[in-house]
Amino acid sequence: MSMDLLPLSEVRFHLKAGAPLPCSVRDAEGRLLLARGHLVSSPAMLQALLARGVFVERQEAAQAHMAPPASPVDAGSPFERWDRLCDNLSSVLLSPQEQQFLQRVREAAGHVLALNEFNADLLLFLILRHDHGNFEAYGVAHSLHVACVCSLLAQRLGWSRDDQQRVIGASLTMNLSIIELQGQCARQATPLTQHQRELIDGHPQEASMILLAAGLDDMDWLAAVQDHHERSGGGGYPSGRADPGAMSQMLRLADQFTAKHSARATRPAMPARQAARELFLQNPGNAMAEMLIKEFGIYPPGCFVKLATGETAIVVRRGSSANTPEVAAITSARGEPLSAPQYRDTSQRECAIAQCLPQPAQPLAWPAHMFYPEALPA
């Protein structure tokens, strides 16, 4: 009977350098590598264990009160699920050689789908309010944001649940070969080197080869990854195909759009309206691009606006019209922080949106649940 194994990276917050292991460490076949109680002698040893991609037995980890819930999609509040998803993806996408890699990607896809079905406005808020200044984690965060946007679009288009999960999986894995390079480039103030450019140009093919090596036999998923930088009519890369599939084009557009919302060392994140305008101009007449812009809205949840009252507010939900989203004021007209969010009706002239504000360099001080109290357990 095979063991139910859990990657060590998923319980890494329970591990400490200079302390004994709270449970045994095993390889992918369940063979014992280090027994429970073995001393983790240094931070270097801890990092080496995490980098190796080893495992613990889920039942033993649970007995040591260190295992995450067995069903991560359904457990906890949406805020807890989002944080857990971000943490888990950091280890999943950097370890495609692990035996359970595809299973863990599919679990993450189910997690994205569940969050979208729970509250799409909250999902958009979490994307825009991500700490984009953490350049080191850019590659993982960007893959997740593309997956979330594709989930919204696929649902809007009425795709089957299998296809929704497939395009989310493709989004999460389309940049497998350059995840770490993306972080390097995001914080790099100098132009790309020739070697970096070559790696970027070849990453669609390289990512699909990694997926094949991992055992993926879903041809639609593979094609979406392979072609996610191709353009209808030609002009894309790596093959200049004129007729890439709808799934690959959804990835391409979501990739472009979410990248505009993220800061780099060389530029700040674009304001939401500017990002939408640029995507439209770069893809004239593209029905899917127009749908993406409509789905986000002019003022998507998570963007900052100035109200006619002079207050600064953050958009919380899309409204009955594109110009009248639900917002929460976070500063007074004099720029003083409020003690709690104050909701305003932007359909009223005195509270109308006067302008879209640039994304701040620092993450929002208030946690997301301050704006979505209905998402917390009763």
Segment 136-148 shows an average pLDDT of 93
Neighbours of 60 (CB within 10 A): 18
Beta carbons of 138 and 146 less than 8 angstroms apart: no
Neighbour-count burial of 335, counting CB atoms closer than 10 A to its CB (0-12 exposed, 13-18 middle, 19+ buried): exposed
Percent of the chain residues topping a pLDDT of 70: 95
Residue boundaries of the structural domains of the chain: 5-63, 78-296, 304-356
Using the predicted structure, report yes or no on whether residue 73 has a pLDDT greater than 60.
Answer: no
- Using pLDDT thresholds of 50, 70 and 90, give the confidence band for residue 67: low
Tens of pLDDT, residue by residue over 285-294, are 999 999 999 8
Question: What predicted TM-score, i.e. pTM, was given to this entire model?
Answer: 0.79
**Three-state secondary structure of 327-353:** EEEEECCCCCEEEEEEEEECCCHHHCE
Tens of pLDDT, residue by residue over 207-217, are 999 999 999 99
Tens of pLDDT, residue by residue over 45-64, are 877 887 777 888 888 887 88
Which of 56-70, 72-86, 250-264 tops mean pLDDT? Answer: 250-264
Segment 336-350 shows an average pLDDT of 93
User: Which two three-digit tokens encode residue 83?
Assistant: 């944080």
Annotation: CATH topology of 78-296: Hypothetical protein af1432 (1.10.3210)
pLDDT value of residue 71: 46
CA 209 to chain centre: 22
Average pLDDT, the chain: 89
Question: How many whole angstroms separate alpha carbon 160 and alpha carbon 154?
Answer: 8
Tens of pLDDT, residue by residue over 174-209, are 999 999 999 999 999 999 999 999 999 999 999 999
180 half-sphere exposure, CB direction, 13 A CA radius: 5
- Using pLDDT thresholds of 50, 70 and 90, give the confidence band for residue 72: very low
> What angle (nearest 5°) sits at the alpha carbon of residue 188, between those of residues 144 and 230?
50
DSSP element (H, E) containing 291: helix 287-296
* Strand bridging mode 326-331 / 337-345: antiparallel
First-to-last alpha carbon distance for the chain, in angstroms, is 40
Q: Which residue has the higher pLDDT, 11 or 68?
A: 11
User: Which two three-digit tokens encode residue 15?
Assistant: 């591990």
CA torsion sign for 148, 149, 150, 154 is positive
pLDDT value of residue 130: 82
* Measured torsion, CA atoms of residues 263, 267, 271, 275, in degrees rounded to the nearest 10: -90
Segment 262-280 shows an average pLDDT of 87
Question: How many whole angstroms separate alpha carbon 193 and alpha carbon 188?
Answer: 11
DSSP, residue by residue, 260-311? HTS-BTTBPPPPHHHHHHHHHHHSTT-HHHHHHHHHH-SS-TT-EEEETTS-
- Using pLDDT thresholds of 50, 70 and 90, give the confidence band for residue 307: very high
Using the predicted structure, report yes or no on whether residue 339 has a pLDDT greater than 50.
Answer: yes
